[in-house]
Amino acid sequence: MLENHRNKGLPPLDWLRIFEAAARLGGFSAAAREFGLTQAAVSQRIRSLETWLARELFVRSARGVTLTYAGESYLPIVQESLEALERGTEDLFGKAPCELRIAALSSHLTTLVMPCLSELQSKHPDVRFTTDSVPQRSNFDDEKTWLHLRYGRGKWAGREMALICTETLCPMASPSLIHMRWQDMALIELRGERPGWRRWGRKNDMPAPRAASISVDSMEHALVAAANGLGLVLGSKALAAPMLNSGQVVKLDLPALATKDGYWLTWPEDKLTSKKSRALVLALRDALSQSVSDAGHSAATAPLP
């Protein structure tokens, strides 16, 4: 039994850290390994904390230890306080991030990330920007780089998200074809989850498009096909931005098709605890959004013949 007399003030930080580790890891041995101590040393510190608080925090048995009601109530308070102390220390005394590493599909790195890096580097000259190409969207879960640029609805368990832009699809073609009626152009079909020409026709009360003469499975290939004069594409306004800016493709004066998907920066919930790191990631988000927005406003729209 512990004496019913609690010391005033805070117990030593070392005791609190060891209590948190033992509770989080489920035992004194695991906490000992985390701190490089013996199990006896961990047990002694926890017993000292219990004496200080005049409460037992663990039930000890031959099978191990479990938290008491007092321990369960105290644990989240200790964890939140230690996390706040760590964040505050990092914000005040930590160095600004020296590298920002982002993983994305290769086509997204080319069309979204690269165009905005020059301005971002001018504002953050001491930061090294590193990119990692992800072969397919299904590979993101195995990706070691924690900051991702992803396409979708923005619902990924255990991750925070910041929207760059929503996906808008616009009829686009090579400038060499704008003398033609759009109905006479060959259609480029993009297979996959994005809505296609039939949805565009129904949404805008347009005639049902005829069968496409070219079919591809990536937006990158669809845009390249259009730039080479192979037909009319329902192209991503965001991913086509570099081609629109350079005049390789032009938007036709036809209705666009808004979608429920978008492009997002996303990261694990426990990663951006430092204000400086979060500010850098959000600066990247703003640069990406501004780059896409600028392209949308500056790109010319070709009138229909």
Token readout for 65 is: 């230890």
H-state helical runs in the chain: 13-25, 28-35, 39-53, 69-93, 106-108, 114-123, 197-203, 219-227, 241-246, 275-298
pTM of the model: 0.68
Q: Which residues pair with 302 in a beta bridge?
A: 252
Q: What is the pLDDT of residue 233?
A: 95
pLDDT tens, position by position, 186-204:
999 999 889 999 999 999 8
The CA R_g of the chain, rounded to the nearest whole Å, is 28
Q: What is the pLDDT of residue 95?
A: 60
d(CA 251, CA 133): 29
* Three-class DSSP category at 178: coil
- Residues of the chain with pLDDT below 70 are 1-6, 90-91, 94-97, 208-209, 295-305
